[in-house]
Amino acid sequence: MATGRRAEKMEETRAALIRAARRAFAEKGYAAAAMDELTAEVGLTRGALYHHFGDKKGLLQAVIAEIDAEMLAHTARLRAAAATPWLGFLAEGIGYIELALDPEIQRIMLLDGPAVLGDPSRWPNQNACLRTSIAMVEALVADGTLAPVDPEAAARLINGAALNAALWIAASDDPPATLARAVDAFRRMAEGLLAEGQPRG
Amino acid sequence: MATGRRAEKMEETRAALIRAARRAFAEKGYAAAAMDELTAEVGLTRGALYHHFGDKKGLLQAVIAEIDAEMLAHTARLRAAAATPWLGFLAEGIGYIELALDPEIQRIMLLDGPAVLGDPSRWPNQNACLRTSIAMVEALVADGTLAPVDPEAAARLINGAALNAALWIAASDDPPATLARAVDAFRRMAEGLLAEGQPRG
DNA sequence: GTGGTCGCATACACGATGTATGTCAACTCA
DNA sequence: TGAGTTGACATACATCGTGTATGCGACCAC
């Protein structure tokens, strides 16, 4: 499609607004981020913002969608690089923990996002990520690697554990050391889902 | 101590404000709860509020401290009623999941609280709860029930898994059924921490 | 009973969101 | 190609909510 000069510029301002919002939300938090500052930073006014995103919440949604897509792509790469499905599953969880070390992700995705937009498992992208996790657990249960556990429940618990670990690590004094402790415990817990007699990975 | 008429009345208004805030925060969320309404509901004005709690955040802290104390007392009861330390540990986690079915706890403790006050593991009461969990894991590791895992890491991951499970259950269409699925998966994951040869039950 | 303290109300300043309206450049079509 | 239309964005305003400074009145000490 021949995107005219018009549409092209428009996409540019959308991107600029989202970029500025990511910075502002990450640094000051959603509530304390003023839209006037945000927009002025990229040479616009709130008019542009309300035109493109409807309201402040809409801007946050756009920001979250972008970050979420990046996270999804990252964990998918880790999973694909693993030797076995089970190791892929572990790698995905551990990668998720590492990702959440980023202050931007913590503040926007883990703290403000849920408070403003509600339960993250209802977000479209998170749902996609979760669905792949569920599918993996299903496959691992089917081939006998995992005990007959409810796939969605297992995927969500693993996710929750990883998420909380990330918050802990981020708030700790020595993140790398804490990361190591968390990853070890995470691996053990996940191994609790393995079927009897399966090698512990 | 002879609490005079004065101090007595003051405690009463503090309690009334906290009560009203619990309702308002739970129903509308922290950001959307207006202090004017809150206080008018119990026949006061914002003056009382700022006098007692400093600012809106201070009120939220007081509310959270109260709820947190209730949760702590509840899980402690469950733990004490269990037959063995290991079963007590499980009961505590499962009890935590059940507690979080309460919409008030979800909204205030799991969504708005972290966004406004930051990482919950830094809250004084949560810290107390976590410390007892860590102590339990330490004891279970010492007596050989659990594998030699980092106590704090294990406690935090278990906590995170339970917390996320609660959010999931709450958002589900059939909470009781979802609760059953979550509890089963939770038990299995926790059992991953058991030492080799320990009975799973 | 008089001065002081303190719980709480009143009044105001400030900032932030959202909306209604205006404007000007870019595209359409005869 | 130029008049009309659309739409991206700016401007101006209405509204509301927090926080603070100030004031009042009841209780307590002496």
> Mean pLDDT throughout B22-40?
98
Q: Which of residues 110-169 of B touch A (CB under 8 A)?
A: 110-112, 114-116, 118-119, 121-122, 147, 149-150, 152-154, 156-165, 167-168
CA–C1' gap, A13 and D8, in angstroms = 10
Contact in structure between B147 and B141 (CB atoms under 8 Å): yes
Question: Is residue B101 less than 8 Å (CB to CB) from chain A?
Answer: no
User: Is residue A2 over pLDDT 50?
Assistant: no
pLDDT of residue B6: 63
pLDDT of residue A5: 63
Cα atoms in the 13 Å half-sphere on the side-chain side of B138: 7
CA–C1' gap, A3 and D1, in angstroms = 23
Q: How far is B56 from chain A (nearest CA, A)?
A: 13
Question: Is residue B184 less than 8 Å (CB to CB) from chain A?
Answer: yes
Per-residue pLDDT of A169-199, as tens digits, reads 888 899 999 999 999 999 999 999 999 888 8
CA closest to C8 C1', residue:
B48
Instruction: Determine the Cα angle at A149 with ends A148 and A153, to 5°.
Output: 165
CA closest to C19 C1', residue:
A50
pLDDT of residue B10: 84
Q: Which two tokens stand for residue A11?
A: 């996409």
* Local structure of residue B84 (DSSP, 8 states): S
* Local structure of residue A174 (DSSP, 8 states): S
CA closest to C10 C1', residue:
B47
List the nucleotides on chain C closer than 7 A to a protein CB: 6-11, 15-20, 22, 26-28
Helix (H, G, I), strand (E, B) or coil at B176: helix
Per-residue pLDDT of A97-155, as tens digits, reads 999 889 999 999 999 999 999 988 888 878 788 888 999 999 999 999 999 999 999 99
CA–C1' gap, A32 and C19, in angstroms = 22
Pick the closest to residue A179 from A97, A86, A118, A92 (CA basis).
A97
Dump the DSSP string for A2-59: ---HHHHHHHHHHHHHHHHHHHHHHHH-TTT--HHHHHHHTT--HHHHHHHHSSHHHH
CA–C1' gap, A184 and C17, in angstroms = 46
Contact in structure between A93 and A133 (CB atoms under 8 Å): no
pLDDT of residue B52: 97
Residues in Cβ contact with B167 at an 8 Å cutoff, skipping those fewer than 6 apart: A119, A121, A160, B100, B106, B110
Pick the closest to residue A69 from A20, A101, A109, A122 (CA basis).
A109
User: Is residue B120 over pLDDT 80?
Assistant: yes
Contact in structure between B25 and B108 (CB atoms under 8 Å): yes
Pick the closest to residue A163 from B137, B159, B4 (CA basis).
B159
Contact in structure between A9 and A48 (CB atoms under 8 Å): no
Q: How far is B50 from chain A (nearest CA, A)?
A: 20
Is the shortest CB-to-strand distance from B197 to strand D under 7 Å? Answer: no
Question: Is residue A190 less than 8 Å (CB to CB) from chain B?
Answer: yes
Interface residues 20-39 of A with strand C (CB < 7 Å): 33-36
Question: Identity (one letter) of the amino acid at B159?
Answer: N
Cα atoms in the 13 Å half-sphere on the side-chain side of A138: 7
Residue B1: pLDDT band with limits 50, 70, 90: very low
Q: Alpha helices, DSSP H only, in B82-123?
A: 85-99, 103-104, 113-117
Per-residue pLDDT of A65-96, as tens digits, reads 999 999 999 999 999 999 999 999 999 999 99
User: Is residue B124 over pLDDT 90?
Assistant: no
pLDDT of residue B167: 87
> Mean pLDDT throughout B126-151?
92
> Mean pLDDT throughout B131-154?
95
User: Is residue B8 over pLDDT 80?
Assistant: no
Residue B2: pLDDT band with limits 50, 70, 90: very low
CA–C1' gap, B4 and C4, in angstroms = 17
User: Which residues on A lie below 8 Å from B168 (Cβ)?
Assistant: 119, 121, 156
Contact in structure between A169 and A101 (CB atoms under 8 Å): yes
pLDDT of residue A1: 41
Q: d(Cα A41, Cα A192) in Å, to the nearest integer?
A: 50
Q: d(Cα A53, Cα A18) in Å, to the nearest integer?
A: 10
- Closest nucleotide C1' to the C-alpha of A11: D8
